[in-house]
A and B are shown apart, each in its own frame.
Chain A
Amino acid sequence: MSDAFVQLSDVTLMYGKSVAVPDLNLSIREGELICLLGPSGCGKTTTMRAIAGLLDPASGSIHIDGRDVTRVPANKRGIGLVFQSYALFPHLNAFENVAFGLRLQKLPEAEIRERTEAGLATVGLKGYDKRKPAEMSGGQQQRLALARSLVMKPKVLLLDEPLSNLDARLRLEMRTELQRVQKETGVTMVFVTHDQAEALALADRIVLMKEGKIEQLGTPADLYARPETAFAAEFMGFENIFRVEGSKVVTDSGTLELGFAPASPLLAWRPDGVSVGSGPHQGRVLATSFAGAHREYVLDTPLGPVKADAAIELPEVAIGETLAFDLPEATARPLSA
């Protein structure tokens, strides 16, 4: 707790009479890049708006850098926010967009010029000063929005799904760009996404949210290897999740003997954790597809469909034929209910 740079304590956020985020506790360390991850409508944007001061908590408090900012208005918090839509000012050119906040501080013209140009250079937009936002590509606009926030030297920089409007290649490029900027400036970043791959790639820590609550919080490696709930496991790619009864796994369609007796009420396997080619169980191949380094199968089993990845060296098994498989103890992830 003592190392918390941003601290949300028992924060409840409401829209009118409906609660969007109940009793949230979250601490963010200085200089870290934290990802808010979760499905649409889980309260990521809402949480971020509360940190920025655009939404007043119904109860609870928010501290930033040791200071209670719960009642501090948004324009006095010193927080940057890059909107999903970028929210660039269409009537101003790139230079003036970036200089906007500096001008409000009534800084000397020379300093404004210097910092704005440096800001544009940081995001690789040198020479674009005269362009209006409408004359820039999606990626350039996104970088412009980033520069506009960065030049203000915010204590915390919030980014609301800034990459979701970009195509796949640009998205990858911007990911590395963001990481570089973060390392360079050391700014504390809160990054919102509902793309788990993006969160895993970028974050120092991931906050997995569900219906306004934190489902699990941890490093990417942590979350990836050790999800604690079915929800988290599903998000992290555990596509086979089954109920446990004694030494059996159970679904509505049937049961399967495991050969060991787990202590947890649920067990989960990634497709690559299911071993195929040999094993005590038989499944009929429902679908198969080539995925480069491995081959993906969907097997019809007593449990219903099971997803399994087979090493590419194994001969392909055609749809309709049977394939032996096992749900090994070694790759099983125990989950709480």
Chain B
Amino acid sequence: MFRNTREGLALALPAAIFSTLLFLVPVGILLSEAFRFEGGWSLQGYIDFFATPLNRTVFLRTLKLGALVAGTAAVIGYAAAFCIVNLGPRARGTVFGMVVLPLMISPVARTYAWIVILGRTGIVNEAITGLGLSDTPLRLLFTETAVFLGLLQLFLPLMIISLVSAMENIPRDVIPAARVLGASWLAVFFKVILPLTKEGLVIGGTLVFTGSLTAYITPAILGGSKVLMLETLLYQRVNVSNDFVSASVIAMILIVMSFSANLLLKKIASARS
């Protein structure tokens, strides 16, 4: 009764066509724009883009921050996820809810908090000047550290969620069993927990890394034009200089990096087993 392919397609195709027309086609055209040069096809757009030192800096910075945020999130994420799975069922639900919550709140609001914390009259500077460590407030905003903290706060929940659900699938007595066999905690982590949760790590890592690459608000508010990332650079290129070729190159870089991050992490995960 569900073998009527035409009926199935009629139900599934509107969504697919909508996505294709509104999404794949325009994005595809945008991506192709960097390859069009004086009426022909060429890589000139890419060559020019990477010839500019600023662009290279921004590219490398985006990669670096993305990796840093993902790595830090993994470390904190493992610690937090391990603690969460060790909780009783009620406390676990509450804590998990508190981890999920920030995801539901506007990134503008979430990022704005860091202005209050890191701004000239923010908590950190008040503390520093109050303690007499410095007479003038430090410039904490518009630094890579600010962007790093903002991104980490934004995406850490994704890593924790992925790792918690991965750890929930570890059979109950595996860890005590390993301990009984004389494994140190470090050995337990690398020989037992890590291999059993690598799926979750791959998912979480991809989400955090791509999230960081493609975040706009956080670098815009906390980095400004001093600490440009690829997204803010793209916005600037389009809005300030109407430079659609650079925009197309950046778009391609972002998409390629997101995909390769996913592939790479998957590869690493399967190579270890």
The reply, when asked whether chain A contacts chain B directly with Cβ atoms under 8 A, is yes
Q: Report which A residues bind B (CB closer than 8 A).
A: 16, 54-55, 74
B1 at the interface (CB under 8 A from A): yes
Give A55 to B3 CA distance when docked, in angstroms: 9
CA distance A54 to B3 in the complex (A): 10
Residues of B contacting A74 with CB < 8 Å?
A: 1
Contact bitstring B1-35, A, C-beta under 8 A = 1, else 0: 10100000000000000000000000000000000
How far, in Å, is A15 (CB) from chain B's closest CB? Answer: 8
Closest-CB distance, A72 to chain B (whole angstroms): 14
Which residues does chain B contribute within 8 Å of A16, judged by CB atoms?
Answer: 3
Instruction: Tell me how many residues of B have a C-beta within 8 Å of chain A.
Output: 2
Interchain CA distance A74-B3 in the complex, whole Å: 14
Contacts of B1 in A (CB 8 A): 54-55, 74
Measured CB to CB, the closest approach of chain A to B62, in angstroms, equals 49
B residues in contact with A55, CB < 8 Å: 1
Nearest chain B CB to A227 CB, angstrom units? 36
Task: List residues of chain B with CB under 8 Å of any chain A CB.
Answer: 1, 3
Complex Cα–Cα for A74 and B4 (A):
14
Closest to A49 in B: B1
With CB as the reference atom, state the residue of chain B lying closest to A55. Answer: B1
4 examples of A-B residue contacts, CB within 8 angstroms: A16-B3, A54-B1, A55-B1, A74-B1
Chain A residues with CB under 8 Å of B3's CB are: 16
Q: For the complex, what is the distance from the CA of A74 to the CA of B1, rounded to whole Å?
A: 9
Rounded to whole angstroms, the CA-CA distance of A224 and B1 in the bound complex is 37
4 tightest A-B CB contacts, nearest first: A54-B1, A74-B1, A55-B1, A16-B3
Closest CB of chain A to B80's CB: distance in Å? 35
Kindly provide the distance from the CB of A83 to the nearest chain B CB, expressed in whole angstroms. 13
Closest chain B residue to A74, Cβ basis: B1
Complex Cα distance A247/B3, Å?
A: 55
CB distance from A52 to the nearest CB of B (A): 10
CB distance from A16 to the nearest CB of B (A): 8
Give the CA-CA distance A24 to B1 in the complex, in Å.
20
A55 to B1, CA, bound (A): 6
C-alpha gap A135/B93 in the complex (Å): 26
Min CB gap A251→B, angstroms: 46
In the complex, which residue of chain A has the Cβ closest to the Cβ of B1? A54
Residue of B nearest to A54 (CB): B1
Closest to A73 in B: B1
| B1, chain A: closest CB distance, angstroms | 5
Residues of B within 8 A of A54 (CB): 1
Cα–Cα, bound, A54→B2 (Å): 9
How many angstroms from the CA of A61 to the CA of B1 in the assembled complex? Answer: 18
* Chain B: CB-nearest residue to A15: B3
